Structure 1
Amino acid sequence: MLRRLGVTTGLALILTSGALAQDAPKDPEDVTLYRVFVGDHADAKVTVFDLDKPDNRWSFETSGQNKLYGVNNGAAVVAVQSDSDTVHFFKSGIKLDSHGDHSDIEVTDPSALEETLSGPRPFHLIDHHGKLAINFDRGGYAEIVDAGELSHGELESRRIPQARAHHGFVAPLGKGWVTTVASDAPVEGDAAPTRLGLQAIAADGTPVGEVATCTGIHGEAFSGAYLAAGCKEGVLTVTPGRDGPKIEMLDYPADLPAGKTTGTLLGVKSMQAFLGNYGADGLVVVDPVDEPHFRHVALPFRRIDFALDPADARFGYVLTEDGTLHRLDMLGAALAESAKVTEPYSMDGHWNDPRPRIAMAGDEIVISDPRAALVRRISKDTLEEIGTVAVEGMPYNIAVVGGSGKVHGKGDDDHAHAHGHSHSHGDEQIYKGYFEDSQISDRPLSDYAGDWQSVYPYLQDGTLDPVMAHKAESGDKSAEEYKAYYEVGYRTDVERITIEGDTVTFYRDGKPTSARYADDGYEVLTYKKGNRGVRFIFRKSEGDEAAPQYIQFSDHRIAPAKTDHYHLYWGDDRAALLEEVTNWPTYYPSALSAGEIVKEMNAH
């Protein structure tokens, strides 16, 4: 029986698929580019440079010291200036457009948006499902920004009020929202209200659920279907459910060092796991699904900063105050290798004193070194320094954006620019369902590999209304009739599917069910209109009992090709599934925002 995907199983699958990807030949049209945004500790400015060509450099004035966040898949960067009551926004100049089997990359110069946000002490920023939630700690509200619009140079925001001002956060969760909750008044001797827990709210801030206790709640991250936050009692996990969020407290186990808590969390993107601090000199690997939920990692010195490797979920990296960078093995919950990379930076003093910050850039770890006025480039394979970039002033907070994509030409500045995506599906007649049997070929499960999200929630919350209106412009139904039709077609309680190798994992309310599947051929179906479709079928070979015996893919393709979305049928009766033509749960890459899905659908 295959174990539910937790840290160990999930990472092993990711490592396997990652190794295969590294062995693949490099396409000459593939371009990799990372751009580094650096905030100065003392001066109100942001310096930007291309990692491979640091002479490609830009500088932007801001209002104060900046905490930088790459958002919307790196297409934009946000500069939160807590002490200056201001938030600035930048177009990063690197746009990655995912199309399932590949990404297109478009590169231009970075630029600052003219519009800014102002308010009393902005602090925590959450980037999730195309929404940015910026908490204004002394204002008692969060500004919600459309992340997709930032990449187009537009700032659209609305406000969600909180019951009272406090140092906390608001986060999107499923079709709703959650917010931290604080006491009515400062406790005697305290400078701020006591943070009590987390509560579900409506879009106007109205509470719609009870407060879940999470004393001193601080730090938050998303991983898979889970939102997690650190508490005095443990780590609080939250998943969306049909009747509201499902909240569970993972209590700190007795074998963890006493008297310490988690206040900073990072979410793994390719599986459901978190890496958090545990006191000043420790880390914890948190599995929200399987026990043990916590695995402790002791550090030889106090922690300065830590990061996860988005390209290889097995590893994280942590910098300690002696100037040593450590590679963390997430599988073994242990430090694997260490190397000295900077002079010592003591953690004594104020939390905001100038100390190094780290970020990932593909095969490199990028480290700011404020006292040396450098950004250091470290090989993640050897932990050796492979270069430095001088940055005037005192480089402090950093954000790295970029990645790899296909291009079809080069601009005057020697950067590649992608042409617009044609949304071609090969032969349009095949896409419409008109083809010869001789054109059909077997397809591997790898055609559907990836992390996929259901579009059903977007239909329910109105996100897809523009798609329905677009269909009505040339179709035989009204927008309302199309929505009713797709209400039946898209309906599902499986909000997410991941496919790694031969393992398929279904997520219902954040809970995974996994099984291995083997090729079971294909079937050709003829529809009432006379057009046809092909179901590519896979049969369960082993796995969780609750996992379906058969899965059948339909994506309008009839030969091997990486898919950009698909319709999936599943159940235990192979023949009965072939009769199902009214309900076809539909999945798009989880990396796509709601706006990007609307764009893709309207282009089809």
Structure 2
Amino acid sequence: MFRYLASASAMALMTNGPVFAQEHDHDHEDVTLYRVFVGDHADAKVTAFDLTEPDRRWTFDTTGQSKLYAVDNGSAVVAVQSNDDAVHFFTSGISLHAHGDHADIEVTEPAAIDQSLTGPRPFHVIDHDGKVVINFDRGGYAEIIDGHELSHGELESTQLKQARAHHGYAAPIGDLWVTSVASDAPVEGDAAPSRVGLQAINADGAPAGDVATCTGIHGEAFSGAFLATGCDEGVLTVSDGSDGPIMKMLEYPDDLPTGESTGTLLGSKSMQVFLGNYGAKGLVVIDPVDEPHFRYVELPFRRVDFVLDAANARFGYVLTEDGSLHQLDLLNAEVTKSAKITEPYSMDGDWNDPRPRLAMAGDEIVMSDPNAGLVRRISSESLEEVGTVEVEGQPYNIAVAGGSGVDHGAEADEHEHEAHDHAHSHDHDSKIYQGYFDDAQIAERQLSDWAGDWQSVYPLLQDGVLDPVMEHKAENGDQSAEEYRAYYEIGYKTDIDRITIEGDAVTFYQAGKPLAAQYASDGFEVLTYAKGNRGVRFIFEKTGGDEAAPRFIQFSDHAIAPQDAGHYHLYWGDDRAALLEEVTNWPTYYPSSLDGAQIVKEMIAH
């Protein structure tokens, strides 16, 4: 069945779900903000507004009609104008900096980036691994843009050459790239070259592997360890291997309707699963690993648009041409509820006729309604309309940036934290704390930084002691207390309820039984997240002690140089590299000298 993800890219997207309370920041507030960008169907403009304060709005001129993409964790927006050979870029004004147990948010006004790209028919956009890739279908190349620089208002790009111009895409896979491949057969008139497969290439465009057959290749998405793309024969998956990309065709099973295929794919960021179209009235839920790989969902009317719920990975939503919105349960591959939202929009006519488009904003679905001149706000739980926003012209393509986090404000450049029996002060540089630092600022740390007697907070969560923390999060966030508790159930979960650290000795207590070993520094690793910010894991390797003790332990406490920890997150196991990929389970430890009430006070006093 679907796998819940633990990857660095998933980390930066967790902020679409629960708010991470910044447990050691006492003077700042939780903020939830979503900003909506809407491209007009007829006019060359993009309108942006804050969802809960729509009078705060901005208008940007473009060259033509725009397809909009929120990239780099929503910190930037790409406006692709295929029919006008132009791409414009905007900073969204909302920056989310994700950490293992919380997220920070910075809010400014959105702005147009001065630089733009021009070229023959830009189309597909891929946002992955810190890179934004735009395919220029009639140019025979893709532009690769640094996502981190884009979020800071700078456009830095390089070109990736393709063998032949065609309607396709290129995507990063490990140290290589994969690109769609077009047939070399002659093409008459205005006909486009036929797309025949996918191939690994080097950064200079030179082939790095054979062409994997994928006739009519179209549509792509990432989820977990996989890239998936639609083909006439099935769905081709790609994963990174030790010798380069591994490609596998998932053939359409006999129980799917014949004569159809998948050409649009969405990839979940929290579960390893894809949702794709399949014929005019169908969707397929695709598991890239386990069988059945395909589960078909038939809709009552033809599909207009569909979207995945980033805050609740179990669900997706699809609008059909009768004007009804349907909630889709991905786990059971079935429609669970439906509601009439707008007037009918027939799917007859051109593919680019003005029809509604969907996007997610936390626990709301936002839907453009071109004929009504509205953006509709719909509760994802009840499918009831909770509000509308008037937008001049014909609101069409739509993208949403934002999420939840702690707003440090202007006073966050330096602050101190007293950690009870670990009385000490931390001078935090705000940029370092947010994950922006130079390598020269990183310094080795010793086990003494984490010396002491530590307790897991997981038992406190299970016993209900942390319920006031969950309720506090619910009062200030966009999730219920139960949803927050479910999230931290995954994050805090561990059977190591106590750890003591003295000198080079680390003792793990499981059900009261000790397991001890000696550890020495094995350096540190810098992790780069999808947002472009970074974090440091300080790693120690076992040098002696109990055989069953883990070979490696890795500390994360948001610091990058020596200082005492007030609490920390610990990762342990025998595979050093695999531990670096784990970001959804982060056992968290506070001083054992603190009782439950003191820990609760520490967590909510932010």
1:99-154 C-alpha deviation (Å, 9 max, x unpaired): 22211111111000110000000000000010011000000000000011011110
Q: What's the secondary structure of 1:297's corresponding residue?
A: strand
The one-letter code matched in structure 1 to 2:447 is: G
Distance in 1, matches of 2:387 and 2:410, equals 26
In structure 2, the CA distance between the partners of 1:24 and 1:280, relative to structure 1 (3 Å rule), is same
In 2, are the aligned partners of 1:366 and 1:375 still within 8 Å (CA)? yes
In the TM superposition, what is the alpha-carbon distance from 1:584 to its structure 2 partner?
7.4
1:270-319 C-alpha deviation (Å, 9 max, x unpaired): 12110000011100000001000000000000000000000111000000
Distance in 2, matches of 1:96 and 1:520, equals 32
The one-letter code matched in structure 2 to 1:364 is: E
In structure 2, the CA distance between the partners of 1:173 and 1:446, relative to structure 1 (3 Å rule), is farther
1:490-521 C-alpha deviation (Å, 9 max, x unpaired): xxxxxxxxx985699xxxxxxxxxxx963275
The one-letter code matched in structure 1 to 2:312 is: D
Q: Which residue of 2 aligns with 1:260?
A: 260
1:546-583 C-alpha deviation (Å, 9 max, x unpaired): xx9875633166988453xx664327xxxxxxxxxxx6
Aligned residue pair count? 483
Q: Which residue of 2 aligns with 1:304?
A: 304
- Once the two structures are superposed, the pairs formed by residues 73-84 of structure 1 within 5 Å of their partners are 73-84=73-84
The one-letter code matched in structure 2 to 1:286 is: I
In 2, are the aligned partners of 1:445 and 1:502 still within 8 Å (CA)? no
In structure 2, the CA distance between the partners of 1:517 and 1:54, relative to structure 1 (3 Å rule), is closer
Q: What's the secondary structure of 1:434's corresponding residue?
A: helix
1:575-604 C-alpha deviation (Å, 9 max, x unpaired): xxxxxxxx676626779xxxxxxxxxxxxx
In the TM superposition, what is the alpha-carbon distance from 1:410 to its structure 2 partner?
7.9
The one-letter code matched in structure 2 to 1:433 is: L
The one-letter code matched in structure 2 to 1:294 is: F
1:10-48 C-alpha deviation (Å, 9 max, x unpaired): 49xx9xx99x96999999711000000000000000000
Q: Which residue of 2 aligns with 1:594?
A: none
Distance in 1, matches of 2:128 and 2:359, equals 19
Distance in 1, matches of 2:431 and 2:567, equals 17
Q: What's the secondary structure of 2:276's corresponding residue?
A: strand
In 2, are the aligned partners of 1:443 and 1:559 still within 8 Å (CA)? no
1:513-533 C-alpha deviation (Å, 9 max, x unpaired): xxx96327546474xxxxx47
Q: Which residue of 1 aligns with 2:456?
A: 443
Q: What's the secondary structure of 2:53's corresponding residue?
A: coil
In structure 2, the CA distance between the partners of 1:63 and 1:381, relative to structure 1 (3 Å rule), is same
In 2, are the aligned partners of 1:537 and 1:553 still within 8 Å (CA)? no
In the TM superposition, what is the alpha-carbon distance from 1:441 to its structure 2 partner?
1.0
In 1, are the aligned partners of 2:450 and 2:565 still within 8 Å (CA)? no
Q: Which residue of 2 aligns with 1:405?
A: 405
In the TM superposition, what is the alpha-carbon distance from 1:409 to its structure 2 partner?
3.6
TM-score, normalised via structure 2 length? 0.73
Q: What's the secondary structure of 2:206's corresponding residue?
A: coil
Q: Which residue of 2 aligns with 1:519?
A: 496
- Once the two structures are superposed, the pairs formed by residues 371-410 of structure 1 within 5 Å of their partners are 371-409=371-409
TM-score, normalised via structure 1 length? 0.73
Distance in 2, matches of 1:419 and 1:560, equals 17
In structure 2, the CA distance between the partners of 1:560 and 1:310, relative to structure 1 (3 Å rule), is farther
Q: Which residue of 2 aligns with 1:269?
A: 269
The structure 2 residue matched to 1:433, chosen from 408, 430, 447, is 447
In structure 2, the CA distance between the partners of 1:257 and 1:132, relative to structure 1 (3 Å rule), is same
Higher relative contact order (CA 8 A, sep 6+): 2
The one-letter code matched in structure 2 to 1:518 is: D
Which structure 2 residue ranges, 5 or more long, are not aligned? 412-427, 436-441, 461-486, 512-546, 558-563, 585-606
Q: What root-mean-square deviation, in Å, do the aligned CA atoms of Structure 1 and Structure 2 show?
A: 3.5
Distance in 2, matches of 1:36 and 1:30, equals 20
Distance in 1, matches of 2:177 and 2:450, equals 49
Q: Which residue of 2 aligns with 1:367?
A: 367
In the TM superposition, what is the alpha-carbon distance from 1:538 to its structure 2 partner?
7.2
In the TM superposition, what is the alpha-carbon distance from 1:443 to its structure 2 partner?
2.7
Which structure 1 residue ranges, 5 or more long, are not aligned? 1-5, 412-417, 448-498, 505-515, 527-531, 540-547, 572-582, 592-604
Q: Which residue of 1 aligns with 2:218?
A: 218
In structure 2, the CA distance between the partners of 1:62 and 1:536, relative to structure 1 (3 Å rule), is farther
The one-letter code matched in structure 2 to 1:519 is: I
Distance in 2, matches of 1:351 and 1:25, equals 46
- Once the two structures are superposed, the pairs formed by residues 450-599 of structure 1 within 5 Å of their partners are 501=489, 518-519=495-496, 521-522=498-499, 524=501, 526=503, 532=504, 534=506, 551=550, 553-555=553-555, 561=567, 563=569, 568-570=572-574, 587=580
Distance in 1, matches of 2:179 and 2:131, equals 15
Distance in 1, matches of 2:336 and 2:93, equals 36
Distance in 1, matches of 2:135 and 2:19, equals 40
In 1, are the aligned partners of 2:21 and 2:103 still within 8 Å (CA)? no
The one-letter code matched in structure 1 to 2:211 is: V
In 1, are the aligned partners of 2:501 and 2:507 still within 8 Å (CA)? yes
% identity of equivalent residues: 60
1:332-380 C-alpha deviation (Å, 9 max, x unpaired): 1000000011100000000000000000000110000000000001111
In the TM superposition, what is the alpha-carbon distance from 1:186 to its structure 2 partner?
4.4
Distance in 1, matches of 2:34 and 2:274, equals 25
Distance in 2, matches of 1:25 and 1:239, equals 35
The one-letter code matched in structure 2 to 1:217 is: I
The one-letter code matched in structure 1 to 2:495 is: A
Q: What's the secondary structure of 1:123's corresponding residue?
A: strand
